[in-house]
Structure 1
Amino acid sequence: MPKLLVLYYSSYGHIEAMAEAVAEGARAAGAHVDIKRVPETVPDTVASSNHFKQDQAAPIATVDELPDYDAIIVGAPTRFGRMPGQLAAFFDGAGGLWAKGALHGKVGGAFTSSATQHGGNETTLFSIITNLLHFGMVIVGLPYSHQGQMRIDEVVGGAPYGATTIAGGDGSRMPSETDLAGARHQGELIAKTAAKLFG
């Protein structure tokens, strides 16, 4: 049974919901899954005044525990077309793992959200994936076996590079069932890939 970590950062709950769906898909494929989040870096007063979702159940991850997993799928919202500073700060603390090659050959993937359909989802996925590749990880995206990302009858997320969702300019749109299905599918694929490599 592969051991998978869903590692995320979520300001308003959109990525938290996607993380739960990724975990659901991975568990359905037989993986043991932990969901953890990276530490918040803004002061509590700033988080409160900006209405951040501060009641998230997932425990805080540490860099040192990453080598314990066969697969790590990383989610975060876009910040101007790239990963947010909270996630970047977490990865910046992982230089020791990089130096030791501690994550070489492990399976990785990314998922994200943006305010609009063209608000940087794909570049944010690549900003996350670039980090994972530097750690020597094997990347699994969201292929078109998730047919939902090809729908044109409603706004949907999804890209070959990873699951995505559209939050709306005011953050009022939570992930749709199609978006969550994409996240579940990616979780399933990553779990199955890890099982083949580490089974």
Structure 2
Amino acid sequence: MQPYVLVLYYSRNGHVAEMADFLGRGVESVGGIEARLRTVPAISPVTEQTEPSVPESGAIYATLDDLKHCSGLLLGSPTRFGNMAAPLKYFLDTTTSIWLSGALENKPAGVFTSTGSLHGGQESTLLSMMTPLLHHGMVITGLPYSNSELSATTTGGTPYGSSHWAGTQGDKALSEDEKNLCYAQGKRLATLALALIH
């Protein structure tokens, strides 16, 4: 089986899904590894799945096997009060069997997010998404400042991972800096994944 980076995300309004696409392009720019884009269903306040079993469009829903067998992970979520969205957290809460097996140990992981306001908790969300990955024994990677967009961006982009400023109405498209940082993060993660395999 060809190695793959799992680009696992939840997207409410499409911004995180668009970021996932650019991250996937970055992954696939590296030969010998593919991007596997997967999402998670929305849940209700009583933590029941509220989406159909198969999404009508876009990425299909992730399974535990998608996560267990990946060579690297890119995890994305919109910000919810400085934290990841409940559907993604709910999925991660079901990964105890993978944690017990150690299947994710020593595999690289990175995180990405989108917020409505420029200072709406991008970095705290990225940090909160890293915590369960550290418990799984993953190797956390970010974006180094050799990516010049980190110093130039007036929208999203952090050393903790890619980010997007969607605007309070969700009407801001990904900036060129944001797209380039997503691509760079995907490429870096794929390169590290292949290095760790060999």
1:129-188 deviations in Å (ceiling 9; x for gaps):
111111100111111122112116xx3211111000001011111211210110000000
* Residues 1:176 and 2:175 aligned together: yes
* Residues 1:161 and 2:160 aligned together: yes
The equivalent of 2:191 in structure 1 is 192
Measured in 1, the distance between the counterparts of 2:67 and 2:4 equals: 11
Structure 1 SS opposite 2:188: helix
Measured in 2, the distance between the counterparts of 1:170 and 1:146 equals: 29
Cα distance, 1:55 vs structure 2: 5.4
The equivalent of 2:43 in structure 1 is 41
Cα distance, 1:116 vs structure 2: 1.4
Mapping of residues 84-123 of structure 1, within 5 Å? 84-123=85-124
Measured in 1, the distance between the counterparts of 2:151 and 2:56 equals: 34
Sort the Cα spacing of 1:151 and 1:55 in 2 relative to 1 into closer, same or farther, 3 A.
farther
Structure 2 segments unaligned to the other structure (5+ residues): none
Cα distance, 1:2 vs structure 2: 3.6
1:85-128 deviations in Å (ceiling 9; x for gaps):
00000000011111221211111110001111110000000011
Q: CA RMSD in A?
A: 1.7
Aligned residue type for 1:37: T
Q: Tell me how many residue pairs correspond in the alignment.
A: 189
Is this contact kept in 2: 1:19–1:35, CA < 8 A? yes
Cα distance, 1:62 vs structure 2: 1.2
Measured in 2, the distance between the counterparts of 1:98 and 1:174 equals: 37
Aligned sequence identity (%): 40
Is this contact kept in 1: 2:114–2:163, CA < 8 A? yes
Aligned residue type for 1:180: K
1:45-101 deviations in Å (ceiling 9; x for gaps):
x99xxxxxx854101001233121110110111000000100000000011111221
Aligned residue type for 1:42: S
Is this contact kept in 2: 1:2–1:191, CA < 8 A? no
Measured in 2, the distance between the counterparts of 1:149 and 1:61 equals: 30
Aligned residue type for 1:191: A
Is this contact kept in 2: 1:83–1:128, CA < 8 A? yes
Structure 1 segments unaligned to the other structure (5+ residues): 48-53
Is this contact kept in 2: 1:97–1:103, CA < 8 A? yes
Structure 1 SS opposite 2:167: coil
Aligned residue type for 1:67: K
Is this contact kept in 2: 1:38–1:86, CA < 8 A? yes
Is this contact kept in 1: 2:69–2:103, CA < 8 A? no
